[in-house]
Structure 1
C-alpha cells in the first residue's frame, strides 16, 4: 500500500467530506475547519483542519465560540500529520485537555478476511435491535470500565436512521455475551471502520479479537469496501500489525469542556 496516498484519501473521504453520523447532527465547513454539531449524546467536534501558523489561533477561538453557543462540550480530533506543527501546544494553551493517543491503522480488507476459529461454545450474533445494542453496551462497559450509554444511543440512532451504515456483532459463550465489536460503513468511500472491539477480561487471549476483525473484514468485502481503518489503542496495535495492518498516522482527542 502507498501509505502517503492512502492517508490523503482517508483525509479526503472520511474527514473533509464526512457525512453526519445520525439524526440531528450536521457537518459544517468553517473556513479551513470541518466540524460536526449535533445532540448532546452525539459526537461533537472538529474532524479536520488545514491550518497554518497565521490562522490557527483564530480558528481555535472560533470553534470554541461556536460550541459554547451550541452548549456542547466538544473534541478536536487531532491527527499526527495535521498542521501547524505546534497545533497541540496551541490547543493546550486554549484550554483543551488531551486524551489517550491512538494509532490509525489500515489494511486491505481482503488480506485479513480469512476466518479465525472460535473457541468451543462461542458463536457470533448480529445486533439488529435495542436489546442487542444494550448487550453490546454492557460488554463495552465491563471491558473498558467506562460508561457506554452515549455510544449505545448513537448506535440506536444510526440503526434507526441508516441501518446499512453500521453492523454490530456479539460473541456469545453458551449464549452469554463476552465480546462485541462494530463495523461502520460510509457510503461512497473506500473505507470501512472497525470500532468498539471489547472482550471481557476472562475471555482475552483466546482469539476473539482476531475472529471479530476477520468477521468484519468479510462483511466489508461483501459490501464492496476495499480498506479497513481502525483507531488502535496500544493494547490492540500489536495484534493488528500481526494481522497485516499498517500504521497510517496517529490521532489524539483534545477535549474542551464547558
Structure 2
C-alpha cells in the first residue's frame, strides 16, 4: 500500500522550492520563506507548507508581492495548497485583491507502477520534440483546447529546452500531421520526483487513450532516469484517469491571481 502521508511530506520537502535551472530572463527571488519567480508570462509566488508568519505580518507579505508585480504592470499567481499554514491565507489573499482560479488535485504515483508501453489509436504517432516550431504547435494546441491565447507556453518551453534540455521532455501525439495531444515531463535533479504538465487533448480525440499513452510514455522516460515518483496537478477531468492509472491524491492546490486593473 502506498504511504500517501509520506508522499505528501516528500512533496512538501522537495517540490516547493525553486526549479533547478530557470530559462534565460527568469529570476528566482526570496522574500522570507517565500519564493518569487519573475520574468514569466505572469509572476509566481509559492512557499513552504508553513510560512511562519500570520496576522498583520502575513498581510504585509501578501501586499508586498502584489505591489511588486503591480509596479511591473504584471499579474501574479500565488499558489496555495489546502494543507498550508496559516489556515486563513486564502481569505487574506482575497482581501488583498487576489482571485481564486480553478482548484486542482495534487497527485503522485510510484514510477515503477506507472510505466507501461504506450498504446495509441491507429494513425496516431508519438514524437519527442525539441524545435521552436514544434513548441509553437504545442502552444497552438493549448490555445485551441482552452479557447484563450496560450502562446506564452511556446516561449516557456523554448526557454526551458534552451536552458536545460536534460530537465524537460516534450511529447506530442500527432495524427495526419496534426498535434492532437501534447504533454511534457519536467525533471528536478536532487529530488525523487519528476512532474507531468500539459496533457491537453483535442475534443475529437478524447476518450481514445491518447492522454493515457502520454502518461505511460513519460513514466517510461522517468524510469530510465531513475526517478521514483511522478507528480501532477490534475484538473477535475484528468484526476479520475490518473487515479485509475495508480496515482494518489495528496492535497489540493488553488492559484490565487492578482491582475493589474484592466487586465484579466
Q: How does 1:175-254 map to 2 (within 5 A)?
A: 175-254=177-256
Matched, 1:85 2:87: yes
**Equivalent-residue separation in structure 1 for 2:146 and 2:237 (angstroms):** 12
**CA distance in structure 2 between the partners assigned to 1:3 and 1:182 by the alignment:** 24
Hey, what's the Cα distance between the residues in 1 that align with 2:196 and 2:134? 18
Q: Which moved more, 1:15-24 or 1:90-99?
A: 15-24
**Aligned-pair distance for 1:34?**
1.8
1:48 to partner: Cα distance? 1.1
Structure 1 position 189, deviation (Å): 1.6
Q: Distance in 1 between matches of 2:135 and 2:211?
A: 19
Counterparts in 2 of 1:10-25, with a 5 A limit?
Answer: 10-19=11-20, 21-25=22-26
Deviation per CA, 1:56-78, whole angstroms, max 9, x where unpaired? Answer: 21211222232233443210001
- 8 Å Cα contact 1:108-1:228 kept in structure 2: yes
Higher mean displacement: 183-192 or 102-111 = 183-192
CA distance 1:11–1:28, change in 2 (3 Å): farther
What is the number of equivalent residue pairs in this alignment?
256
Give, in whole Å, the separation in 2 of the partners of 1:202 and 1:88: 37
**1:17 positional shift:** 4.7
Please tell me whether the aligned partners of residues 27 and 35 of structure 1 are also in contact (alpha carbons under 8 angstroms). Answer: yes
Contact 2:21–2:163 (CA<8 Å) still a contact in 1? no
Q: Deviations over 1:108-160 (max 9, x none)?
A: 11111111321111110111101111111122111222211011100011111
> In the TM superposition, what is the alpha-carbon distance from 1:239 to its structure 2 partner?
0.4
CA distance in 1, matches of 2:16, 2:167: 16
Taking structure 1 as the reference length, what is the TM-score of the superposition? 0.93
Specify the alignment match of 2:46 in structure 1.
47
Paired position in structure 2 for 1:38: 39
Distance in 1, Cα, partners of 2:81 & 2:194: 18
CA distance in 2 between partners of 1:121 and 1:176 (Å): 11
**More divergent stretch after superposition (22-31 vs 66-75):** 66-75
Q: Which runs of 4+ in 1 moved over 4 A?
A: none
Are residues 1:169 and 2:171 paired? yes
Q: Which 10-residue stretch deviates more, 68-77 or 224-233?
A: 68-77
- Contact kept, 8 Å, 1:103 with 1:232, in 2: the verdict is yes
CA 1:146–1:104: 2 relative to 1, 3 Å = same
Moved more, 87-96 or 166-175: 166-175
Moved more, 112-121 or 10-19: 10-19
CA drift at 1:171: 0.7
Alignment of 1:96-135 (within 5 A): 96-135=98-137
TM-score, normalised on structure 2?
Answer: 0.91
Could you tell me which of 140, 143, 153 is aligned with 1:141? 143
Residues in 2 aligned to 1:221 and 1:80: alpha-carbon distance in whole angstroms: 30
> Aligned to 2:84, what secondary structure does the other structure show?
coil
Structure 2 distance, partners of 1:17, 1:196, is: 20
